Structure 1
Amino acid sequence: MYLAEHAWPDLASYFESKSLAIVPLGSTEQHGPHLPEGTDHLIAEGFAREAAARTGYLCTPTINVGVSAHHRQFPGTMWVDPPAFRDYVESFSRNLAYHGIDRIVYVNAHGGNVEHLREVGRRLHEDGVAFAVEWMWNESIPELVDEVFEQNGPHGGPKETALIQHLAGDLVHDERLEDARDGGLRDIETAETTKFGSRTFYDAIDNSDNGVFGDQTDATPQKGERLFEAASDQLVELCSWLAGQDIDDLLPASHV
């Protein structure tokens, strides 16, 4: 059920009977010469709407711009500062709680959002407003991702390329896959991004001239479909589990 497509009386019926919402979040940022800047939010919305279609749970409109300043050197990248992002997502979530939602799944497809979504979830939990969890598709199927790709990326690599080939293939510049591989960083291990236990870079361009990692030529739409189906199964299971919990067991215990 996609919120933006329904009239308020129909939504009122949903809120009377269910208390879970699926919120897709991503980014609008460079993903190399071969993928669209909307890669992350397209992936997030794809998973969220698939899970909503399978389960009947509510899917909200997508939050398309995230914490992406580390890609700012590449034309077109958009971002918001972390405090603004956290406050916006928290306000958005409290809006859902006003309508009766007390469980939220943040379907996230951008690594830069992770820590901030978890912080928002902590705030909402601490205040007893809602139980909100962050879900990242590749973290739900890590063994499969490693099985399918020799070098999976991370950013703009074959796993994201394969998913966009499956979800929105007309937006992929297949003729640039070799350029993406050869102009980026094929093996992230060779970048020596940590020294003596410290991370020694801030921006994507510090390690990759074209902003991406991995071997993009290893991607196919068939691999993308396999990943999409497997991760969607995991998201459906998460939603079903969360909906079945007693809210009193999810919210903070009383102070002793």
Structure 2
Amino acid sequence: MYIADETWPELGDYFENESLAIVPLGSTEQHGPHLPLATDHLIAEGFAREAADRTGYLCTPTIDIGVSPHHRQFDGTMWVDAPVFRDYVESLTRNLAYHGIDRVVYVNAHGGNVEHLREVGRRLRDEEVLYAVEWMWNDSIPELVDDLFEQNGPHGGPKETAMIQYLRPELVREDRLADARDDGVESVEAADTTKHGARTYYDAIENSDNGVFGDQRDATAEKGEEMFEAATDQLVRLCEWLAERDDSELMPSPHV
């Protein structure tokens, strides 16, 4: 169920019987010469909508601009500052709680959002407003991702390329896959910007001239579909697991 397609009486029926919502989040940031800036939020929305269709749980509109200042040197990248992002997501989630939602899955497809979604979840849980958990698609199927690609990326690499080839093939610049590989870097390790245990880089351009990693030619729509199906299955299971939990299992433990 997609919230923006429903009427308020229909949503009243949902809130009377269910208490879980799915919130997709991503970014609008560079993903190399071959993928659109929309890559992350398209992936997040794809998973969230599919999981909502399979379970009947509520899906909200996508938050499509995230914490991406580390990509700012590349034309078009958009971002909000981390405190603003956290406050916005918290406010939106409190809005869901007002309508009766008491558990939320943040379907996230941007690494830069992870720590901030975790912080928002902690704030809301500590106040016993509701329970919110962050879910990242590739973290749910790490073995499959590693099996499919010799070097999966991370950013703008073959795993994200394959996902967009499957979800939105018309947006992939297939003629730029070789450029993405040749002008990028194989891996973060290959960028050699970690010194004596310290990460010396702050911006993506310090690791990769074109902002991406891996061999994008290793991507196919078929691999994207395989990952999408496997990760969607994990997301559905997470939603069902969360819906079955008693409130006492989700709220903070009492002080020892």
Question: TM-score when scaled to structure 1?
Answer: 0.99
Q: CA deviation at 1:254?
A: 3.3
1:252 is matched with 252
1:240 is matched with 240
- 1:62-91 CA-partner distances (Å, limit 9, x unpaired): 000000000000010000000000000000
Aligned-residue CA RMSD (Å)? 0.7
Q: In structure 1, what is the Cα distance between the partners aligned to 2:111 and 2:203?
A: 13
2:37 is matched with 37
Q: How does 1:36-55 map to 2 (within 5 A)?
A: 36-55=36-55
**Contact conserved, 2:154 with 2:187, CA < 8 A, in 1?**
no
Secondary structure class of the residue paired with 1:190: coil
**Contact conserved, 2:51 with 2:232, CA < 8 A, in 1?**
yes
Q: CA deviation at 1:226?
A: 0.3
Q: In structure 1, what is the Cα distance between the partners aligned to 2:59 and 2:187?
A: 36
2:119 is matched with 119
Q: In structure 1, what is the Cα distance between the partners aligned to 2:233 and 2:131?
A: 21
The letter for the 2-side match of 1:108 is N
Q: In structure 2, what is the Cα distance between the partners aligned to 1:69 and 1:213?
A: 18
1:147 is matched with 147
The letter for the 2-side match of 1:192 is D
Secondary structure class of the residue paired with 2:134: strand
Q: How does 1:125-164 map to 2 (within 5 A)?
A: 125-164=125-164
Q: How does 1:184-199 map to 2 (within 5 A)?
A: 184-199=184-199
Q: CA deviation at 1:213?
A: 0.5
**Contact conserved, 1:140 with 1:231, CA < 8 A, in 2?**
yes
Q: In structure 2, what is the Cα distance between the partners aligned to 1:61 and 1:147?
A: 33
Q: In structure 1, what is the Cα distance between the partners aligned to 2:114 and 2:243?
A: 22
Gap regions ≥5 residues in structure 2: none
The letter for the 2-side match of 1:122 is R
Q: In structure 2, what is the Cα distance between the partners aligned to 1:108 and 1:188?
A: 21
Q: In structure 2, what is the Cα distance between the partners aligned to 1:187 and 1:60?
A: 34
Secondary structure class of the residue paired with 1:21: strand
Q: CA deviation at 1:192?
A: 1.7
Say whether 1:89 aligns with 2:89. yes
- 1:139-163 CA-partner distances (Å, limit 9, x unpaired): 0000000000000000000000000
Say whether 1:24 aligns with 2:24. yes
**Contact conserved, 1:188 with 1:214, CA < 8 A, in 2?**
no
> Aligned residue pairs: how many?
256
Gap regions ≥5 residues in structure 1: none
Q: In structure 1, what is the Cα distance between the partners aligned to 2:188 and 2:194?
A: 11
2:56 is matched with 56
1:99 is matched with 99
Secondary structure class of the residue paired with 2:132: strand
Q: In structure 2, what is the Cα distance between the partners aligned to 1:248 and 1:9?
A: 30
Q: CA deviation at 1:186?
A: 2.0
Secondary structure class of the residue paired with 2:190: helix
1:173 is matched with 173
